[in-house]
Amino acid sequence: MKKTLFSSLLLLASLNLQANDQLPDVEQFIDEMVTKHGFERAELENVFDQVEVKDAILKAISRPAEKSKPWYEYRNIFLTDSRINGGYEFWQQHKEALEAAQQQYGVPAEIIIAILGVETRYGQHMGGYRVIDALSTLAFRYPPRSPFFRSELEKFLVLTHEEKISELEPIGSYAGAMGLGQFMPSSYLAYAVDFDGDGHRDIWTNPTDAIGSIANYLKLHGWVAGQSIVHRTQATKPLPEAMLANDLKPAFTRQQLEQAGFSLSQVPEGDDVLSVIGLTQPDGEEYWLGRQNFYAITRYNHSRMYAMAVYQLAQAIREKMDNTK
């Protein structure tokens, strides 16, 4: 009996040692969390003893980037009947929260819904990994981006402490993005809101908090209430390469755009600067002129195609909503 007990204790010790062995520098990280944030060392050691390093996460993050899809293929991923219908149903189910978010933050309901549709199909696909496993694996086993994920792991532990939830409970993507809107922990701490006033910022199971958090995120990234987003244009002559290679931020005056050969007939009057968006169609490039609100959407994901997919999905959901009233 004593021999069996001794063997069991040795096995338990070896399992704990193995967990720590799989997470180099975890003891130093625990030291930092204790010193900086006042965490209990024993509690953190217990958490990290239960962390599972996932080779699948390392494979996913290391996978070579897929060849960039042209717009007409990328668009077809998101502009589907199922996503449009799902957005319509989500709107019907959460009208009150969406109206409140639009009133408080100035962000239209259809934009919030479209982001949820693109990110997680309205909460149907929020990831399959424990966030603690994902962030620990990448913080301690993926040197190319270790500082970033170590910072996100720190913020994740802070938010679980603030929200009084188990560190082992939240589920997210292989990169640690969480909830209906796929917030990283740093974004959660900066932008998540308790929109229904129940004392918790629950972006996993509470659509109301997810709605308010996305709207707050966009507002704090410069969303202008009542302003349009993006407008189709035509180019009447070859475009300067520098104009197409500009960053996502609006930078061109209307005069510059007219001189470059763009039609501004569909753009509302104003003195705000615009961005040039070129999108590949099977028969050539199509051009759009983006305003500040288009740029705000790109702060959620730094991609023109992502922002355009959100915009066009939003328009399709709005059209279905208007046509079924």
Q: 3-class DSSP state for residue 178?
A: strand
pLDDT for the residue 12? 41
Q: Which residues form the catalytic set?
A: 119
Where residue 65 falls among pLDDT bands split at 50, 70, 90?
low
Binned at pLDDT 50, 70 and 90, residue 13 comes out as very low
- Tell me the pLDDT band of 41, cut-offs 50, 70 and 90: very high
Q: What is the mean pLDDT of residues 162-178?
A: 97
Identify whether the C-beta of residue 187 lies closer than 8 Å to the C-beta of residue 217.
yes
Q: What is the pLDDT of residue 4?
A: 46
| Structural domains present in the chain | 16-63+127-191 (1.10.8.350)
Q: What is the pLDDT of residue 66?
A: 62
Give the count of beta carbons closer than 10 Å to the beta carbon of residue 81: 9
pLDDT of 265-289, one tens digit each?
999 999 999 999 999 999 999 999 9
The residue type found at 88 is Y
Residue 174, SS3 per DSSP: coil
- DSSP letter, residue 325: -
Of 291, 160, 288, 303, the residue nearest 232 (C-alpha): 288
Q: What confidence tens digit (pLDDT) does each residue in 68-126 have?
A: 899 999 999 999 999 999 999 999 999 999 999 999 999 999 999 999 999 999 999 99
**Of 315 and 237, the one with more pLDDT:** 315
Is the CA virtual torsion 178, 142, 186, 290 positive or negative? negative
Predicted model pTM: 0.91
Q: In the predicted model, is pLDDT for residue 54 greater than 70?
A: yes
